[in-house]
Amino acid sequence: MPGRVRPIEKFAETVSKCTAEGAVYGKCIAANYQNVSKDMCVREFMALKDCYLRAARRRT
């Protein structure tokens, strides 16, 4: 029986498959970090979220 995988390890492995989307979202936030507002980078965030969910489904 393999050892137990901690949830943070699962998260780290899954999110590592979305580096391009994470970079785009990070650049959007960094470009206006002093004036961050709700839904400012919603398109970029949704792309990152969709990537993460796709990667998580493949992992199971």
pLDDT tens-digit series, residues 3-59: 787 889 988 999 999 999 999 999 999 999 899 899 999 999 999 999 999 999 986
Q: Which amino acid is at 11?
A: F
Given a cut of 70, whether residue 1 has pLDDT beyond it is: no
Cα distance between the two ends of the chain: 17
Q: Which amino acid is at 58?
A: R
pTM as predicted? 0.81
Q: Residue 2's pLDDT band (boundaries 50, 70, 90)?
A: low
pLDDT at 31: 95
pLDDT at 48: 97
Q: How far apart are CA 16 and CA 7, in angstroms?
A: 14
Q: Domain map of the chain by residue range?
A: 7-59
